[in-house]
């Protein structure tokens, strides 16, 4: 079997490698700053754990390899402008938007999009970074350095945020995980919960939307679609051409997780319709140190990324899966040492587990 190279050696690359291990796949995750000359063979396969990368000898070697899966999709989705154009072309609902050009004024944006307008940098924004709100109640101009490199979106008053993770194989077959309910605080994912009975009625609609995208792109592998739920409508906020943080719960709660399904897809192996085990939830560890006492909490699974702890930085996550929601709620009460806004995140999970 050919070797699989992952462009990027962050936590997603590490978890892809870990998931491929039981299958006996030979996987190497490559740091984007690597200056090494890679020993790539013609029949090796290349995938990526991120949408963008700097140009280095190693990334150039990987990105020009004939077997780089989805190579065209990365730049298309990494730029919010072309991502939005794709959604419009496929007539998939998304927040109304305009490109921000030299001529764009805040007044015009408020006229076209309403009181709350969210500017988003076209490239490189993640976890709420690269966002700038314009509110007509507190008028402010479009920052001059955002002109030509941002889009403007209508501020959506959504009911909640959900995401769908799906996988498509080389022959076009698709499989999906159940919709996940997500809590973002200040634009960063704090917690996820899945599956939820009340989201089942939206599942077919969400699957149809993501299938349309993956088919149009002739995509192979895992893709995530983040949506706003507004009543019984889904509006796509963002697409990720890779495994996604809101699918991390599948490590605990699915017979085949998102990482393994991605590796199966890029290797051309049969995909799994994952069996879902009980109720799962995930808590992201953001800017907090690891506390190994957490391991005493029944059912808790810790993923610590061995990154330096910095404010707002994702440094790990906790997964839980159980058929007993009372046990899950108890586990949440036992999580010590988590500062604000974890009170909010844990209360949100408890509320959804209690429904």
Q: Is residue 79 part of the contact set for ligand AMP (CB under 6 A)? A: no
Give min distance, CB of 237 to ligand AMP, in A.
5
Q: Which of 237, 258, 284, 319 binds ligand AMP (CB under 6 A)?
A: 237
Query: Phi/psi zone of residue 114: left (φ > 0), alpha (ψ -120 to 50 degrees), beta?
Result: left
Q: Which is nearer to ligand AMP, 65 or 244 (CB)?
A: 244
Q: Is residue 238 part of the contact set for ligand AMP (CB under 6 A)? A: yes
Q: Is residue 153 part of the contact set for ligand AMP (CB under 6 A)? A: yes
**Total residues at interface with ligand AMP (CB under 6 A):** 13
Cα 220 from Cα 269, distance rounded (Å): 11
| Binding positions for ligand AMP, 109-148, rule CB under 6 A | 118, 125, 128
* Residue 351 burial by Cβ neighbours in a 10 Å radius (0-12, 13-18, 19+): exposed
Q: Which is nearer to ligand AMP, 7 or 162 (CB)?
A: 162
Nearest to 143 by CA among 153, 157, 155, 133: 133
The site map against ligand AMP for 86-105 (x = CB under 6 A) is ---------x----------
Give min distance, CB of 193 to ligand AMP, in A.
15
Q: Which is nearer to ligand AMP, 79 or 226 (CB)?
A: 226
Q: Is residue 299 part of the contact set for ligand AMP (CB under 6 A)? A: no
Q: Which is nearer to ligand AMP, 240 or 331 (CB)?
A: 240
The site map against ligand AMP for 214-233 (x = CB under 6 A) is ------------x-------
Cβ neighbours around 240 below 10 Å, total: 21
Residue 332 neighbours by CB under 8 Å, 6+ apart: 346, 349, 350
Residue 191: C-alpha distances to residues 21, 89, 183, 244, 283 (Å): 27, 32, 5, 13, 5
Interacting span for ligand AMP (CB under 6 A) from 155-163, 239-247, 292-300, 337-345: 155-163
Q: Which of 10, 99, 114, 187 binds ligand AMP (CB under 6 A)?
A: 187
Give min distance, CB of 15 to ligand AMP, in A.
20
Q: Is residue 161 part of the contact set for ligand AMP (CB under 6 A)? A: yes
Give min distance, CB of 240 to ligand AMP, in A.
9
| Binding positions for ligand AMP, 6-35, rule CB under 6 A | none
Q: Is residue 179 part of the contact set for ligand AMP (CB under 6 A)? A: no
Q: Which is nearer to ligand AMP, 31 or 238 (CB)?
A: 238
DSSP sequence for 289-348: ---GGGGGSTT-EEEE------TT-EEEEEEEEES-HHHHHHHHHT--SPPTTHHHHHHH
Residue 73: C-alpha distances to residues 48, 110, 246, 273 (Å): 11, 32, 20, 24
Residue 270 neighbours by CB under 8 Å, 6+ apart: 169, 264
Give min distance, CB of 116 to ligand AMP, in A.
7
| Token representation of residue 105 | 């004024």
DSSP sequence for 223-280: EEEEEEEETTEEEEEEEESS--GGGTTHHHHBSS-HHHHHHHHHTTPPP--PPB-SEE
SS3 161: strand
Interacting span for ligand AMP (CB under 6 A) from 37-45, 98-106, 154-162, 305-313: 154-162
Q: Tell me how far apart the 2 most distant CA atoms of the chain are, in Å.
A: 60
Q: Is residue 312 part of the contact set for ligand AMP (CB under 6 A)? A: no
Residue ranges binding ligand AMP (CB under 6 A): 95, 118, 125, 128, 153, 155-156, 161, 184, 187, 226, 237-238
């Amino acid at each position: 079997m050919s070797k699989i190279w992952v462009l990027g050696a962050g936590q997603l690359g590490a978890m892809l490698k870990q998931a491929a291990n039981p299958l006996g796949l030979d996987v190497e995750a490559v740091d984007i700053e690597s200056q090494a000359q890679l020993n790539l063979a013609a029949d090796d396969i290349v995938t990526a754990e991120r949408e963008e990368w700097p140009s280095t000898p190693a990334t150039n070697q990987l990105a020009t390899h004939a077997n780089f899966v989805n190579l065209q999709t990365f730049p298309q989705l990494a730029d919010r402008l072309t991502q939005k154009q794709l959604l419009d072309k496929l007539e998939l609902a998304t927040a109304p938007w305009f490109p921000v050009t030299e001529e764009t004024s805040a007044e015009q944006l408020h006229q076209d999009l309403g009181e709350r307008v969210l500017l988003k940098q076209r490239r490189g924004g993640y976890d709420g970074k690269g966002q700038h709100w314009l509110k007509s109640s507190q008028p402010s101009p479009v920052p001059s350095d955002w002109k030509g490199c941002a889009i403007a979106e209508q501020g959506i008053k959504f009911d909640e945020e959900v995401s769908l993770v799906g996988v498509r194989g080389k022959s076009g077959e698709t499989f999906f995980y159940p919709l996940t309910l997500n809590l973002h605080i200040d634009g960063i994912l704090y917690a996820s919960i899945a599956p939820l009975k009340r989201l089942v009625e939206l599942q077919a609609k969400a699957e149809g939307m993501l299938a349309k995208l993956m088919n149009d792109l002739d995509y192979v592998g895992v893709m995530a679609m983040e949506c706003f739920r507004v009543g019984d409508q889904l509006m796509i906020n963002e697409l990720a051409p890779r495994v996604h943080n809101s699918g991390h719960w599948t490590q605990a709660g699915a017979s085949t997780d998102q990482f393994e399904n991605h590796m199966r897809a890029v290797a051309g192996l049969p995909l799994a319709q994952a069996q879902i085990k009980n109720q799962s939830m995930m808590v992201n560890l953001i800017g907090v140190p690891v506390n190994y006492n957490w391991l005493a909490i029944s059912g808790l699974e810790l993923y610590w990324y061995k990154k330096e702890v910095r404010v707002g930085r994702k440094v790990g996550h906790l997964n839980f899966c159980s058929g007993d929601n009372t046990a899950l709620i108890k586990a949440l009460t036992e999580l010590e040492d988590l500062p604000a806004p974890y009170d909010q995140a844990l209360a949100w999970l408890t509320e959804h587990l209690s429904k």
